[in-house]
Chain A
Amino acid sequence: MRHTLAVLVENNPGVLARVAGLFSRRGFNIDSLAVGRTENPVVSRMTIVVEGDDRVLEQVIKQLRKLVEVLKVQDVTKEEHVDRELALLKVSADPSRRAEVIQIVEIFRAHIVDIGRKTMIVEVTGDEGKVNALENALKPFGVKELVRTGKVAMLRGTKDITMNGKEAAE
């Protein structure tokens, strides 16, 4: 099963290497990893999607907590949360087929962000299923290039994962 972890870390150089190294060294499988700074400039937040059973997950969380620069680790999988990723797709689109592509893009509430002579770039934000669905819908036109950010996630409602926030139930 896939789990989504929210990990707060100190915003220091090398932290990503420590976290990524931990995963590879212990044989944990990272599905996706997204990282950026938070509302607090000295804290970065990683959203890590990891594949494994409960035992693997328990070890992942405990090993992450051992890292000196890791401030907080929480599994948000079973909590009410919103998750999103962003993808850019470069689609083959001759002028004759553009209308069709634009129609599909509108249905998915995605955006055309660039038009070339033979291609268009589509930007889409959504959960993994939506991004996959759009990719499948555009495949017949020819997806020449695809880039995805990996998942970011946030708890719904008053619960939060910040340095001062109340911890959601574990």
Chain B
Amino acid sequence: MKKKVSGGDILIKSLKREGAEVIFGYPGGSVLPIYDALYDADIRHILMRHEQAAAHAADGYARATGRPGVCMATSGPGATNLVTGIATAFMDSSPLVAFTGQVPTALIGRDSFQEADITGVTLPVTKHNFLVKDVRDLTRTVKEAFYIAKTGRPGPVLVDIPKDVSGGMAEYLEPGPVDLPGYKPVVNPDPAAVLAAAGLIASARRPVIYAGGGVVISGAHGELRQLAELIMAPVTTTLMGIGGFPGNHPLSLGMLGMHGTRYANYAICECDVLIAVGARFDDRVTGKVETFAPEAKIIHIDIDEAEVSKNVRVDVPVTGDVRVVLQKLLEVLKGASHPAWVDKINTWKKEYPLQFDDNGLKPQYVIKEIDRLTGGKARITTEVGQNQMWAAQFYTYTRPRSFISSGGLGTMGFGFPAAIGVQVACPEETVFDIAGDGSIQMNIQELATVVSNDLPVNVAIMNNGFLGMVRQWQELFYKRRYSYTEIYGPDFVKVAEAYGAEGIRVTKPAEVGTALEQAIASSRPVFLDFVIEREENVMPMVPPGESLEKMLG
């Protein structure tokens, strides 16, 4: 008979079996048996300063590597603090496995100290979740959790473990094969659907490829590029699709939608065949749905069949893994060219470039300088708001997983902890969080984490003293009534220094380059406080609910 070990030991062993290298977590009473097992384990634990940040850091790790990120929290408040991070991962289809402690099974349902029904709470924001009631179910549950998180359309899975389960004793037994009769992701597309898509593509005179996060997730960037070059179709990406197609490619249209480029939105309005690849027709992309791609037949390639015809009508749905579908499509497609169409788009590109003036210190300039000084090779995370849109517009992303941002949920406070996960995953790379002065204050406590773990994350704060995007909407749609969007911030340089990081303030364009060089060269975390023009706007902009061609700016 094998030796019995604790549930905590079984969990750690199961995590190692799944290839987990690092846990982003925060200890507490209900996870003590697990933390006790961690004490001797050769698995890295990053002690965060808030559970929300632990979830975002695990998410950032997952987005940078494509492997599931792992976070851990105690029961009750620890668990509920994870919820925003879990919901963020859910909306952006990021593989996250969250472990929470739970009060002992005998106390569940009695409103015990630090008890929360976290499986109930996270039901709508997880791909699936588990409450483990028997220590003997732990290995199987962990295996299923990782399998569900990373296969099909990835997403967060939560595993809730009562203290008597993690503290209970059992033999560690290798789990059997995953057997989930109700869960069978469709990877290979129906050949007839692929042929139908190929036929429609062959008939196109003004094709446009609209690529989303699914391209990045499935690792289909190579195939996407081949497809675009083969059929000479311009490619526009969603926010989540950034990096899925090289931003410096002649066929790149940049981002589409509310803050997309004029030429991307015009191309959508005039295309006759739209090839949607791993994208889900979010309202920030489509604008007014009734007038989205009005002349186009739409092909929709996605692993999640529920996305097909959810928001827009689709003519040819192809369900399957984006990469596999593109490979099959490339086998049957013949080359094509559309010189008049490409010429027209190139004319738009010349006529309507993304631009900004140089009156004062402009965020767009700062981001272009980050691009120049990192050679476009940094991993960029963002917070949410104007900083995020400028980071999407003015940095040239040439590889997948280099732009990491909360798209679906729009979570302020995401970028800094996500950058921690990215830096842990990619220790040799330069990592920048592009932040706003509002957003950075939502998880600023993680300065302690970067300092204590020697993570040289750079945070470029676009400091305009406002909740900038909300202010922009107030300016445009609420007659400049800036209701509670002027926000007081601390002296970010001093805050950084107080935590043991570096702080640099920049107020003039001439100082930007030197400050960035200093930050990039530093082996310590750096807060760069860019005091930018207060009322700079993100342009162009499609007003909410409008058609894509009706852009301001």
Binding site for B on A (CB under 8 A): 9-10, 14, 17-18, 21, 25, 55, 58-59, 62-63, 65-71, 163
User: Which residue of chain A has its CB nearest to the CB of B183?
Assistant: A68
A21 in contact with B124 (CB, 8 Å): yes
B306 and A63 within 8 A (CB): yes
Known: A55-B309, A59-B310, A71-B181. A66 touches B304 (CB 8 A): yes
Q: A59-B306, A62-B305, A66-B304 are known contacts. Are A25 and B181 too (CB-CB below 8 A)?
A: no
**Which of B119, B120, B181, B305 gathers the greatest number of chain A CB atoms within 10 Å?**
B181
Known: A21-B124, A25-B124. A163 touches B181 (CB 8 A): yes
In the complex, what residue of chain B is closest to A67 when comparing beta carbons? B182
Q: Is B15 an interface residue (CB 8 A)?
A: no
CA distance A9 to B306 in the complex (A): 19
Instruction: Check B377 for interface membership: any CB of A closer than 8 A.
Output: no
Is B426 interfacial (CB 8 A cutoff)? no
Query: Of the candidates B123, B128, B183, B309, which one forms a contact with A17 in the assembled complex, judged by CB atoms under 8 Å apart?
Result: B123
* B148: Cβ under 8 A from any A Cβ: yes
Our pick among A18, A21, A55, A65 for the contact of B306 (Cβ within 8 Å) is A65
Question: A63, A67, A68 — which one has the most chain B CB atoms within 10 A of its CB?
Answer: A68
Chain A residues in 8 Å Cβ range of B131: 14
Taking the closest CB of chain B, its distance from the CB of A37, in whole angstroms, is: 16
Question: Does residue B180 face the partner (Cβ distance < 8 Å to A)?
Answer: yes
Contacts A63-B306, A66-B304, A68-B128: A17 and B120 contacting too (C-beta < 8 A)?
Answer: yes
Query: Are B180 and A68 closer than 8 Å at their CB atoms?
Result: yes
State the CA gap A11–B293 with chains docked (Å).
45
Additional A-B contacts beyond A55-B309, A65-B306, A71-B182 (20; CB < 8 A):
A9-B182, A10-B182, A14-B119, A14-B131, A17-B123, A18-B123, A21-B123, A25-B124, A58-B309, A62-B306, A62-B308, A63-B306, A65-B305, A66-B304, A67-B182, A68-B127, A68-B148, A68-B182, A68-B183, A163-B181
CA A67 – CA B128 in complex, angstroms?
Answer: 8
Can you name 19 A-B pairs with beta carbons within 8 Å?
A: A9-B182, A14-B119, A14-B131, A18-B123, A21-B123, A21-B124, A55-B309, A58-B309, A62-B306, A62-B308, A63-B306, A65-B305, A66-B304, A66-B306, A68-B128, A68-B148, A69-B182, A71-B181, A71-B182
Q: Mark B41-74, 1 if CB is under 8 A from A, else 0.
A: 0000000000000000000000000000000000
Assembled-state Cα–Cα distance A71/B128 (Å): 14
Report Cα–Cα, A25/B87, bound state, in Å.
14
Smallest beta-carbon distance B147→chain A, Å? 10
Per-residue interface assignment for chain B, residues 176 to 216, with 1 indicating a CB less than 8 Å from any chain A CB and 0 otherwise: 00001111000000000000000000000000000000000
Interface members, chain B 117-137 (any A CB < 8 Å): 119-120, 123-124, 127-128, 131
* Chain B residues positioned under 8 Å from A14 (CB to CB): 119, 131
